Structure 1
Amino acid sequence: MSGHVQCVVEHALARVTLSNPGKFNAMSRTMWRELKAVFTALQARSDVRGVTVAGEGGHFCAGGDIAEYPDFRFDARELRDFHENDVWGGLGAMLACDLPVLAQIEGNCMGAGVEIASCCDIRVAGQGARFGAPIARLGFPMAPREAQLVASEAGVATAREMLFEASVFDAAEMKARGFLNAVLPDAEVACDVQARAQRIARLAPQAARLNKQTLRALRGGQPVHALVTHAYDYADEAEHREGIAAFLAKRQPVFS
């Protein structure tokens, strides 16, 4: 099996890199499992304030590693194991992570790449990025959990075009459809995402985690009144006191 998911933490920020040289970072089974391990570990760390996900070599992720498919796709039990445990294991770990996650999208963002990007909170793409899920050309549908994820983030209409017509969209179109937060010249994407991550790192980390938990619960259909019971438990926390004290003292807050 080929490819790796690498994670480097520096100055309270994690950088997760999808790497499968020669295949535009297509996701292998090993990579899905590593993605799960990486995000499970990040969720448990108190010293990390934000995560950037990027691909190696000018591409985000071109989909799944098709060279592996004959090994398991033609047996229903093995295929289910792949999608429900390997693929959803990685995507589910991303969705369960309470840290803000930014996507640095360049080049190909297809299939699995769209799914991984859909798990990110802020998505910035280069003008040359291309998006789609043309798996109808390969003779199979998108797995149910993955389809729900893409439809919820990219929109049902966009998901239909990607899946029924094998449509591929440029970054400007995906920005217009609400999937992307920003589209920049390709050479500026990395710097912009890094600047966004640094802004996040300077802000209140507990507040970011709580906001992520709230938005996740609301997206999952949990009623607002169910969240109220514990919504204000942070009242006496040091981070809360520091933020208010710094504002009143007209100084920059220091969130330890």
Structure 2
Amino acid sequence: MSGGHIRTETAAGIGTLVISHASKHNAMTLAMWRQLGDAVTSLAQDDRVRVIVVTGEGDAAFVSGADIGEFAQQRSGADAVAAYDQAVTTAQRALARCPKPTVARIQGICMGGGIGIAAACDLRFASARARFRMPAARIGLGYAYEGMQRLVTLLGAPTTFDLFYTARSIEAPEAMRLGLVNDSIAADAFDAEVASRVALIAQNAPLSLRAAKAAILAALDAPAGPAREAIDALVRQCFASRDYAEGQAAFTERRAPRFEGR
């Protein structure tokens, strides 16, 4: 599709969400923001999927931000701005609240809304050649509260001020030092290393991962995070599951566990 689209793939317990708009460095159109939220929801509801990976088409960009070419029509006037911002918030919220583990696989350019998408994921792995920038102040647009709150929680206020005030570009090693990404990985090892780490997640007990994510989000006091009672219920579900019995048996028998998510 020439205007860009969101594509999903599933294999070996991994759901991959591909942001595809290579002609514009995977810039997000309004339609793509709307598709993104739906795609996350679909993968979250797919029992075959244990972990979701978000990546850009090709290796030149993760997401270069919003498609500025649309702004004159899609982001002009109070009603249009509100509708556009709601689509962005809904998409990023779907990622942030997804009950399954989410991983941002970042190569090349990651700017603006791309940083917002990455920040909404649980883990962020970047190629050492990746570049990050928050150019809102160079374009004159505002960044909505929920996305800003997520960045402040992730980076702290001083770093968030720096990135927004200066609109400067940073390389992956600095992004890792600032806490924007979990790891900066050599470009020639990136594909294999990220695939290995994602596979490790997919092999683990789904109910345990779900309970851990709910508790971590609550500990962060994330927007509309799960209540303590809901987290306790998820923990009880782990101990009552067949996977709990399987994990103990596998440990005793010194073999890899075969988890089913129940």
TM-score class, shorter-chain normalisation, is over 0.9
In terms of mean alpha carbon deviation, does 220-229 or 180-189 score higher?
A: 220-229
**Matches of 2:186 and 2:232, distance apart in 1:** 45
**Distance in 2 separating the partners of 1:168 and 1:156:** 18
Alignment of 1:1-256 (within 5 A): 2-58=3-59, 59-84=61-86, 86-220=87-221, 226=229, 229-230=232-233, 231-256=235-260
What per-residue deviation string (whole Å, max 9, x for no partner) do you get for residues 191-215 of structure 1?
Answer: 2111111111111111111111211
The CA distance in 2 between the partners of 1:227 and 1:171, in whole Å, is: 37
CA distance in 2, matches of 1:220, 1:83: 23
SS at match of 1:99: coil
CA distance in 2, matches of 1:15, 1:60: 13
Indicate the SS of the match to 1:117: helix
> Aligned partner of 1:215: which letter?
I
Structure 2 CA distance for aligned equivalents of residues 121 and 229 of structure 1: 21
Report the 3-state secondary structure (helix = DSSP H, G, I; strand = E; otherwise coil) of the residue aligned with 2:132: strand
DSSP-derived class of the 1:232 partner: helix
Cα distance change, pair 241–82 in 1 and its aligned pair in 2 (3 A): same
CA distance in 2, matches of 1:63, 1:225: 35
Deviations 1:77-111 (A, max 9, x none): 22111112x10111111112111111111111000
TM-score by length of 1: 0.93
User: What letter is aligned with 2:62?
Assistant: F
Q: Aligned to 2:24, what secondary structure does the other structure show?
A: coil
- Partner of 2:63, secondary structure, is coil
Sequence identity of aligned pairs in percent? 30
1:104–1:190 contact (8 Å) kept in structure 2 = no
How many residues align structurally?
A: 255
C-alpha distance after superposition, 1:106-152 (max 9, x if no partner): 11100011001101112111111111211111112212122112222
**Secondary structure in 2 matching 1:190:** helix
What is the distance in 1 between the residues matched to 2:11 and 2:231? 35
Amino acid at match of 1:245: A
**What are structure 1's unaligned runs of at least 5 residues?**
none
Supply the distance in 1 between the matched residues of 2:226 and 2:6 (Cα, whole angstroms): 36
Matched to 2:80, the amino acid is E
- Secondary structure of 1:103's counterpart equals strand
Letter in 1 for 2:246: E
- CA-atom RMSD in angstroms: 1.8
